[in-house]
Structure 1
Amino acid sequence: MQQNKHVRPLAARIGAVLLPWLMAMAAIPATGAPAVPAELIVRNGSIYTVQGNKPWAEAFAVRGGRYVAVGGNADVAALAGPQTRVIDLHGAMAMPGINDVHGHPLDGAYEDLYACNFAPSATPAQVLARVAECAARAEPGDWVVGGAWSSTLMADISTPAMLAALDRASAGHPVLLRDETFHNRWANSEAMQRAGIGASSANPAGGIIARDADSGQPTGLFKEFPAFLALERQIPPRTQARQLNAARAAGATLNAVGITGVQDAFTSEGTLRIWSQVDRGPGLPLHLVASLSTMPAADPAERTGLALADGRDTYRGSNLRPDFAKIFLDGIPPARTAEFLAPYLPDAEHGAHFHGQSNYTRAQLVDLLAAFDRRGIPVKIHATGDGSVRLALDAVEAVRQRNGMPGQRHQIAHASFIAGSDLARFRQLGVSADISPMIWYPTGIGMATAMAIGPERAAHIFPIRDLTRAGALVAGGSDWPAGQATPNPWMGIEGLVTRRDPVGAFPGALWPEQAVDLATALRIYTLNSAEAMGLGRETGSIEVGKSADFIVLDRNLFKVPATQIHQATVKQTFFRGRQVYPRGE
């Protein structure tokens, strides 16, 4: 018998209402019966709950990893028992843990531990000096892999002279360096030779091999994943021991800045296997939602796309949810691989009327999106240009007509540039806007974007206030390690409020009319992100029945100047009622 498609959503809504009520009832003893003691009580605090009608509380109690009481000190006092741990905040601010809707935590931690790293502010000469240092320490046969060079340097490094300089610095080792966006690579001659890339190599679909205008030889610059896939496949695979070490380090790094939930924005089967092993061993110290890759795998033996999605439950665990897929609809503006409604600035390579091109036709995108949607799998769609954002919304609209409403809550990742007429469609179609302020508040990426589309258009990036006013679900992420060397959410939160670079490396404000208030910014990074990730009933706010994921800060964010938000320090992080940072307390 076919089940009514409305029964399960209705049951879920009923459960969402009943669970908190049942948990609250469990905290209240029957007449004459003692209360079941809580395992943890937090009291005497300025507790920001992110509940719309009750944004502040003084105390809460936790049992079985969930909140069983939230309110004043007196409301939780009866739940104290001889074994209850009591934390007196002495007025300090506590709030829900941060949910990062867009990160690459395994890559971030692996690079911190093992890569040849340098800051995006590095000049070409500094990059070459760093490569020489890494090459001098490398063992025979090792690759020098790292980053991140600034996307403003693409024209500077894409010359025969710079390729020759990189070859000299590498001392015979193959070199592959990424930019800060993760979308482009710089390779030396040894790496290209090993990958079989030369003057006769054709541009793969969706990728560009930059060439010298006179000789036609590759310059070493590769734009977008398909272009450098052959290079990636030549790099010796990461050992399991190193990946497990990086996965554990990623959890510790995220917990230390207050993150208790993260969406891995691009998850290969190999990465999914590592996350699963950690979760089934010591356990992940946060909620992790995986976005399954639809791209060709660096390891040809790994599944991708629908095949990986159909086998995803093999990897599901207590804290690991392989519930999303990932589609790259376009690239990035600095590389002119994003699709825009208006053309890029004229250049010698593209002419005066180049708009960029999405990686899928409308029909291809609709078919793929509909297939995931039917399987109950929402999709994170990478789209940065306003042309690709419109195409993504058009495709979701077609899928809604084909598969029916409400369908899955898909995400448009980055949604950097949005035509005004498309703002309301996010809410109408139930699409989340996944935004990463740490990339777009005045940064080098912004400067590179201005070089491609002009400073006036580049300044009109991320209309956050307009999106929220239009009723869109806006969720916040770091994109770590792309753009920034840290997943620190307080940088992004301050950027939402000020529209300025928190550390002052890049002056000025970026479209200050789109600033939001602190309460909105905190909701974007907590409850909104949880809802976008499919975890809204589980976490994101301090409410009875939800997972006790919370943090204690060194300052009340509402009582300091907005320009000091990025200086906030997390004193303690709790996940499912268990302290995960600092460990050992």
Structure 2
Amino acid sequence: MRNKKLAPCAARRLAAGLTLALLPWLAAAATRAAPPDLIVRNGSIYTVRGETAWVEAFAVRDGRYVATGTNAEIARLAGPKTRVLDLRGAMAMPGINDVHAHPLDGGYEDLYACNFAPSSTFEQVLARVADCAARAEPGDWVVGGAWSSTMLAQVSTPAALAALDKAGAGHPVLLRDETFHNRWANSEALKRGGITRDSADPAGGVIAKDPASGQPTGLLKEFPAFLALERQIPPRTQARQLAAARAAGATMNACGITGVQDAFSSEAALAIWSQVDRDGGLPFHMVASLSAMPSAFPAERTGLALVEAREQYRGANLRPDFVKLFLDGVPPARTAEFLQPYLPDAEHGAHYHGHSNFTRDQLVDLLVQLDRRGVPAKMHATGDASLRLALDAVDEVRKRNGMPGQRHQVAHASFIADADLARFRALNVTAEISPMIWYPTGLGMATAMAIGKERAERIFPVASLLRSGALVAGGSDWPAGQPTANPWTGIEGLVTRRDPFGAIPGALWPEQAVGLASALRIYTINSAEAMGMGRETGSIETGKSADFIVLDRNLFRIPAGQIHETTVKQTFFRGRQVHPRAE
């Protein structure tokens, strides 16, 4: 039979596949040629996957695993300059991969914002704003968060606006809720944003107004509603942004995170991460989700324009590989789209389902273009109707572009109709979850106020998704929902379906609890695969990047209710210790 010439793209794929297939052999051959830089021994080392789930030791050279096995097997590889880390029986495992976080915002808020916990009462929020205003310089804005979504109705009154005006002491004030989707502004901030009683709701946003006077109350739902105000806030300086990026790296490393997907990357944020990476300071793998929304700064590129420019930002540890799309908002603000209606209220009546930001044709057209460019989408969809829209659109993309296509993500995948569970695997779509913000929390209570307790409790059917064969990946959504990137609360929540801190009693749909091994896979190899990095990281296997953590306890030998107390003693990224950092 005559040989056929492979198309260039097929040849590249074949070459890449052969290279990956040969990695273990190449690593083994290299091991015989040179001793490792580091040997980690005498531990309970959970590999997540590979020939065996547990090993005693492994060896690292040039930032990659070159061997795993028993203490005796690995000891034979040591050379005169090999560093040996004796775990003394401690548990080690792959680093955490956080598939949904906003690290630049998290780092910036920790350093510079007027922060308060979502559990803060109305009075505590006002007291915190007054304190921040008293320390602000003339002309400064008071910007911070996060107030609880349970306060949506409480902050949307003339009395609340007057109280926020008083606390702000003449400064413009703009406070976010814990979802990042809504803002509470005082009169000075509304004035600077040009929002008056005559302002119409922008497409995709809501400017709340007092029914009696028609005046804005200060509550602004979704990004288009507060974009004008965001544009009036003095831009974050580059020095502060760089400091925030480095602080975020230290924070995430301390939590055991060695890989993260930035869930919303403006071009300005991408430039900051690129600079940090090129300066040698990015201490984790980062996958960026490029913004497709209008920017607060008109000179910034977004959407397909940013996709076309993304290669200038790619670096050793930075992959600008995804695009972020917001299909809807959030249930507490009634900006998510549901198959069944919200509970009746005065604003929306008795048959309101919410709405998506895209028509089916619009979403299909955009996804087809992205998919053909090799760019997967991270699609925010918190209502089951918007989630179905996402799957319907991907279904059409598969028909046009073929399978398997790009592995798109449904971000949050909160509420899922039973009929849609099996479609994730069939369509090669990731179900991305953020358990830190949904195990029994104030956000869950706010959701129940909008759709009812029974429906609100049927959130994140993780066990059902796993049984269907779906790829389920885990993220924190830090700093949304909670003020920390700590993954251990989310991992415990997956196993117990309870609030790890006991503040909110009861279990949330306990039938959807999963075992510890499944929870750890969700936060390691599954998230790596969802980010397109499954062959690079996520497990302790020969040839992969040496990204691992050492814990203060063996997670498999403690009650599940103690998982959230876990402390990460050491974090290694590419074989280099990044936590605790040397002084």
Q: TM-score, normalised by structure 1?
A: 0.98
Q: How far apart, in 2, do the equivalents of 1:444 and 1:179 lie?
A: 12
What residue in structure 1 maps to residue 107 of structure 2? Answer: 109
How much has 1:404 moved relative to structure 2? 1.4
Identify unmatched segments of 5+ residues in structure 2.
none
Change (3 A) 1:55 1:577: same
Q: How far apart, in 1, do the equivalents of 2:394 and 2:292 lie?
A: 17
Matched, 1:64 2:62: yes
Change (3 A) 1:349 1:252: same
Residues 431, 473 of structure 1: 8 Å contact kept: yes
The equivalent position to 2:25 in structure 1, one of 7, 12, 21, is 21
What residue in structure 2 maps to residue 285 of structure 1? Answer: 283
How much has 1:283 moved relative to structure 2? 2.7
Matched, 1:274 2:272: yes
Q: Which amino acid aligns with 1:578?
A: R
What residue in structure 2 maps to residue 80 of structure 1? Answer: 78
The equivalent position to 1:136 in structure 2, one of 110, 134, 137, is 134
Residues 99, 260 of structure 1: 8 Å contact kept: yes
Q: How far apart, in 1, do the equivalents of 2:243 and 2:25 lie?
A: 41
What residue in structure 1 maps to residue 122 of structure 2? Answer: 124
Q: Which amino acid aligns with 1:568?
A: T
For 1:439-479, what per-residue CA distance to the aligned partner results, in whole angstroms no more than 9, with x for missing partners? 10000100000000000000000000000000000000000
Q: Which amino acid aligns with 1:146?
A: G
Change (3 A) 1:345 1:562: same
Q: How far apart, in 2, do the equivalents of 1:441 and 1:53 lie?
A: 34
What residue in structure 2 maps to residue 243 of structure 1? Answer: 241
Q: How far apart, in 2, do the equivalents of 1:7 and 1:426 lie?
A: 29
How much has 1:556 moved relative to structure 2? 0.3
Matched, 1:165 2:169: no
Change (3 A) 1:422 1:9: farther
SS at match of 1:70: strand
Q: How far apart, in 1, do the equivalents of 2:541 and 2:485 lie?
A: 26
SS at match of 1:318: coil
How much has 1:222 moved relative to structure 2? 0.4
Residues 50, 541 of structure 2: 8 Å contact kept: no
For 1:84-121, what per-residue CA distance to the aligned partner results, in whole angstroms no more than 9, with x for missing partners? 11011111100000000000000001000000011111
What residue in structure 1 maps to residue 226 of structure 2? Answer: 228
Q: How far apart, in 2, do the equivalents of 1:15 and 1:470 lie?
A: 32
What residue in structure 2 maps to residue 344 of structure 1? Answer: 342
Q: How far apart, in 2, do the equivalents of 1:475 and 1:8 lie?
A: 28
What residue in structure 1 maps to residue 252 of structure 2? Answer: 254
Q: Which amino acid aligns with 1:556?
A: N
What residue in structure 2 maps to residue 297 of structure 1? Answer: 295
Q: Which amino acid aligns with 2:7?
A: Q
Residues 179, 185 of structure 1: 8 Å contact kept: yes
Structure 1 consecutive aligned stretches of length 4 or more whose deviation exceeds 2 Å: 1-16
The equivalent position to 1:3 in structure 2, one of 4, 7, 12, is 7
How much has 1:81 moved relative to structure 2? 1.1
Residues 109, 144 of structure 2: 8 Å contact kept: yes
For 1:216-251, what per-residue CA distance to the aligned partner results, in whole angstroms no more than 9, with x for missing partners? 111000000111100100000000000000000000
What residue in structure 2 maps to residue 553 of structure 1? Answer: 551
What residue in structure 2 maps to residue 32 of structure 1? Answer: none
Q: How far apart, in 1, do the equivalents of 2:383 and 2:111 lie?
A: 33
Identify unmatched segments of 5+ residues in structure 1.
30-34
The equivalent position to 1:217 in structure 2, one of 215, 218, 228, is 215
Q: How far apart, in 1, do the equivalents of 2:29 and 2:173 lie?
A: 61
How much has 1:6 moved relative to structure 2? 4.8
Q: Which amino acid aligns with 1:45?
A: G
How much has 1:5 moved relative to structure 2? 5.9
What residue in structure 2 maps to residue 356 of structure 1? Answer: 354
SS at match of 2:422: helix
Residues 283, 319 of structure 1: 8 Å contact kept: no
Aligned length: 579
What residue in structure 2 maps to residue 12 of structure 1? Answer: 16
How much has 1:502 moved relative to structure 2? 0.5
Q: How far apart, in 1, do the equivalents of 2:439 and 2:64 lie?
A: 36
What residue in structure 2 maps to residue 462 of structure 1? Answer: 460
Residues 210, 222 of structure 1: 8 Å contact kept: yes
Change (3 A) 1:549 1:54: same
What residue in structure 2 maps to residue 97 of structure 1? Answer: 95
Q: Which amino acid aligns with 1:80?
A: A
How much has 1:3 moved relative to structure 2? 2.7
SS at match of 2:311: helix
Q: How big is the alpha-carbon RMSD for the aligned residues of Structure 1 and Structure 2?
A: 1.1
Residues 48, 55 of structure 1: 8 Å contact kept: yes
Residues 20, 546 of structure 1: 8 Å contact kept: no
Q: How far apart, in 1, do the equivalents of 2:497 and 2:10 lie?
A: 42
What residue in structure 2 maps to residue 415 of structure 1? Answer: 413
How much has 1:24 moved relative to structure 2? 1.9
The equivalent position to 1:479 in structure 2, one of 474, 477, 482, is 477
**Identity over aligned pairs, percent:** 77
- Map 1:151-162 to 2 at 5 A: 151-162=149-160
SS at match of 1:311: helix
Q: TM-score, normalised by structure 2?
A: 0.98
Residues 285, 575 of structure 1: 8 Å contact kept: yes
How much has 1:406 moved relative to structure 2? 1.4
